[in-house]
Amino acid sequence: MKNVLLALSTSGTDDAVIAYAVGRAKKDGAGLVALYILDLDLANSVFDNFTDIGFIGDKPSSELSEAIMKEYRQRGYEELGRVQVKAMEEAVPFEPLMEQGNYVEKTLAIIVDRKVSTAVLVKHKQRSLYKYFTISHADEVKKAANCEVVIFVEKG
Amino acid sequence: MSVEIDTRPIWVLLLLKALRPFFFIALALGFYWLITLEPPRGLSDAGLKAIAVFAVCLVLWVTNALPLAITSLLAMVLVPLFGILPVKQTYALFGNEAVFFILGAFILAGAVMHSGLSTRIALAIMDRFGASPKRLLLSVYLLAATFSFVMSEHAVAAMLFPIVLEVSKSLGLKPGKSNYGKLLFLALAWGCIIGGVGTFLGGGRVPLAVGILKEISGVQIGFIEYSIAVFPLVAIMLVIGYFMLTRFFPMDVVDVQGVHAVLGRRLKGLGKMSGAEWATGAVLGLTILAWIALGRHGLSVVALSSVVVLFVLRLVKWRDIEEYVNWGIILMYGGAIVLGAALDYSGAAKWMVDALIGGWAGSPLAVFAGLSLLSIMLTEAMSNSAVIAVLVPVSISLSGTLGMSPSVLTYSIMVSAGLAFMFPMSTPGNAIVVSSNYVTVRDMAIPGAVMVFISWIVFNLVAYLYWPIIGLGR
């Protein structure tokens, strides 16, 4: 069975993006795989920042990075729940995934593993100047993926 | 078992692998090139080597290629190794009073956090005063600032962050979208930054600068003397900060009643205030009173005595302190003082001032404004302790050249080095706020830039108009 992949944003995904992914899965007769990635690098960098630069002890620093991961995990469940409700309304087969690791690597691995035909990704709006120097994770996935990739631009 | 394939181009992978060794090789070659140069006129061989060590540390502190404390450790290795200072003198500087004051203050703060007293006070105040969105915001802002008067601002950010996160969730604020979410987290960061400037206890920055000043010039700045000098700046910036926050991000919630259930539940979970909390609070209070009463003398003696009292009263165990105190702080500050002294004793600081700054440094006012601007700009991109280590030794030499009070120029750097409003990399408090996703880098950078500019102006006005009244700089 074909699958449409929706890679959710950690700062909340617009209803319009979810609606598009669900609608696209329904139109293609595909299943919907919703992916939420917990970025371990971020929690680690918070820990390093507080210990190396703030000279804060291990306990408060690790409590802080755990608080961040807990928050992200909760947000992930909420986001996956939102997609599930929409998928159930449209009677689209749905699989929720929460993975830890690097966004690009994980998304590409899921595309291969779940035989994804279309990946729906979200990226932040970038200023023109930044576009010359950086590439978004979503664009990196698009460059390397062996399927159709649709990217929505998040404002703010 | 799944195999993860790195899909990045091979040249990127090779470059990334080669970059770190290449960086250190280039740094070592640069260092070697510097120390083998013929010393310019007026600079001794030891002075040239001190400048080379200074340059290496500066690059490492700016790039964070090594942890800050390890860079300081490197300074303690290179200074005696290249004969800039004798081994005995180098390690004697490591026992500077400022290092032990910072250590004592961090252990005290660790004990307060371990007792749960700080969390209880934060929850109780938010619950008691946070009846409306405006008052809840003010509670977070002023709590962060007030705690930062008595504890490291980074520790305060770490302590308050989970509470503010819970508050935001209980209000259903959307990360990155809710103005009130941005307000709460920025109030936390800005409160810590402004409060952290208020006393010696807001971080290691001020004691470090005071320690370098005493080591090089023999001039001492007292605990209360410092706070009196910066009080107007802190008070004015707290008012301006609140005004700026609410102008940049107009409040988009009208009711915060949901917060009280969460705060009440957490307060109930803490139970009744324990004897250990009362006693820890009393030790902290008495310690601060002793610092105020003793003025310029015995700061480290008071700090370490209080640590002993904590253990005599069995308020903490050594294991608890180990969890809350990062011993790298001793290396960082010890090494920074060694580097400062090496620059001064070798004549390198004076030579740098004469060669690089002396020509344009005409008016004392311009020098004060220039140094405070340089300090505030550097601190946006690098650790504030590193800014102190880099600028204070040079500024003390500059004060000698210009006939200015060395303490005034030290103030210009140590106060400005705390005003890091702009970026996540500026200070750990900013980094944690951005990692919440409620605040984006852009949300922080634009109001932060305005705050940096205003705080620089206010600081210079305070120095120009208020310091002569209290007799500072005469």
pLDDT for A62-83, tens place per residue? 888 888 888 889 989 999 999 9
Residue A141 and residue A119 in contact, taking contact as beta carbons nearer than 8 Å: yes
Give the pairing of strands A94-100 and A3-7. Answer: unpaired
pLDDT of residue B13 exceeding 70: no
pLDDT for B207-252, tens place per residue? 999 999 999 999 999 999 999 999 999 999 999 999 999 999 999 9
Q: Is A104 on the interface with B (CB under 8 A)?
A: yes
Q: CA of B459: how far to CAs of B225, B374, B415, in Å? A: 16, 13, 8
Q: Considering only alpha carbons, which residue of chain A is nearest residue B443?
A: A156
Q: How far is A67 from chain B (nearest CA, A)?
A: 6
Q: Is A61–B162 a contact, with Cβ atoms under 8 angstroms apart?
A: no
ipTM score over 0.90, yes or no = no
- B14/B458: higher pLDDT: B458
pLDDT of the residue at B33: 96
Cα(B375)–Cα(B371) distance, rounded to whole angstroms?
A: 6
Tell me which of A11, A46, A56 to substitute to probe the interface with B (most B C-beta atoms closer than 10 Å).
A56
Q: Is A108–B7 a contact, with Cβ atoms under 8 angstroms apart?
A: yes
pLDDT of the residue at A39: 77
pLDDT of residue A126 exceeding 70: no
Residues above pLDDT 70, as percent of chain A: 92
Q: What does the angle CA B22 – CA B51 – CA B66 come to, to the nearest 5 degrees?
A: 40
Tokens describing residue A119: 């990946």
Residues above pLDDT 90, as percent of chain B: 70
Categorize the per-residue pLDDT at B2 as very low, low, confident or very high, splitting at 50, 70 and 90: very low
Tokens describing residue B217: 């010039």
Average pLDDT over residues B263-278: 93
Categorize the per-residue pLDDT at A150 as very low, low, confident or very high, splitting at 50, 70 and 90: very high
Average pLDDT over residues B184-200: 96
Average pLDDT over chain B reads 91
- Among A53, A61, A63, whose Cβ lies nearest the Cβ of B68? A53
pLDDT of the residue at A156: 53
CA-based diameter of chain B, in Å?
A: 73
Domains in chain A, ordered, with CATH? 3-40+77-154 (3.40.50.620)
Categorize the per-residue pLDDT at B1 as very low, low, confident or very high, splitting at 50, 70 and 90: very low
| DSSP for B129-183, written as a single string | H-SSHHHHHHHHHHHHHHHHHHS-HHHHHHHHHHHHHHHHHHTTPPTTT-HHHHH
pLDDT of the residue at B4: 47
Task: Report the range of poorest mean pLDDT among A121-130, B180-189, B286-295.
Answer: A121-130
Average pLDDT over residues B295-303: 84
Q: Is A109 on the interface with B (CB under 8 A)?
A: yes
Average pLDDT over residues B322-348: 90
Q: Considering only alpha carbons, which residue of chain A is nearest residue B437?
A: A11
- Among B161, B175, B326, whose Cβ lies nearest the Cβ of A57? B326
Categorize the per-residue pLDDT at B125 as very low, low, confident or very high, splitting at 50, 70 and 90: very high
Q: Is B113–A60 a contact, with Cβ atoms under 8 angstroms apart?
A: yes
pLDDT of the residue at B3: 44
pLDDT of residue B474 exceeding 70: no
Average pLDDT over residues B121-148: 95
Residue B315 and residue B105 in contact, taking contact as beta carbons nearer than 8 Å: no
Average pLDDT over chain A reads 86
Q: Is B7–A105 a contact, with Cβ atoms under 8 angstroms apart?
A: yes
Tokens describing residue B124: 């109780």
Chain B neighbors of A10, CB-CB under 8 A:
437
